[in-house]
């Protein structure tokens, strides 16, 4: 076997590996996989928000998502670059988008909106979210 025949045994490049997300050490499972876009990790809003303990509602007519946890209420409109957190307008690095039927949002924004800490390991493509 030549050296070139071994490429299938090697680990994929970091950019080819899936992004894994953990909340308090528990893996988050996704119907639509997280992805990197414009330097931001985008995740399905419902999966991460519910893992953080939030309730999520989708309004098809207005294309708006509302996530509530305790006294924190986050409202996002698809393709809008601002969000509303408890009545305060917050500028997003990038807007929420719909991919394969899932609302994809910047992971750090959504996690931090609910008071969680986020650690990103770009080499291993792992995200660790810790609730406070």
DSSP string, 69-84: ETTEEEEEETT-SEEE
pLDDT (tens digit, 0 to 9) for every residue of the chain, 132 residues total?
444 444 444 444 445 789 999 999 999 999 999 999 888 999 999 999 999 999 999 999 999 999 999 999 999 999 999 999 999 999 999 999 999 999 999 999 999 999 999 999 999 999 999 998
pTM higher than 0.85 for the full model? no
Closest CA to 23 of 87, 107, 80, 105: 107
Strand partners, 108: none
CATH fold for domain 18-130: Copper Amine Oxidase; Chain A, domain 1 (3.30.457)
Domain boundaries, the chain: 18-130
pLDDT at 38: 87
């Amino acid at each position: 076997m030549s050296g070139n025949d071994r490429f299938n045994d090697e680990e994929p490049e970091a950019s080819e590996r899936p992004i894994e997300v953990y909340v308090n050490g528990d893996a988050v499972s996704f119907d639509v996989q997280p992805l990197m876009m414009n330097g931001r990790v985008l995740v399905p809003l419902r999966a991460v928000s519910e893992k953080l303990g939030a309730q999520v509602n989708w309004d098809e007519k207005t294309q708006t998502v509302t996530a509530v946890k305790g006294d924190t209420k986050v409202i996002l409109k698809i393709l809008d670059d601002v969000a509303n957190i408890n009545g305060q307008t917050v500028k997003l690095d990038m807007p929420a988008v719909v991919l394969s039927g899932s609302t994809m949002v910047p992971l750090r924004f959504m996690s931090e909106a609910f008071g969680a800490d986020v650690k990103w390991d770009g080499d291993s493509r792992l995200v660790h979210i810790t609730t406070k």
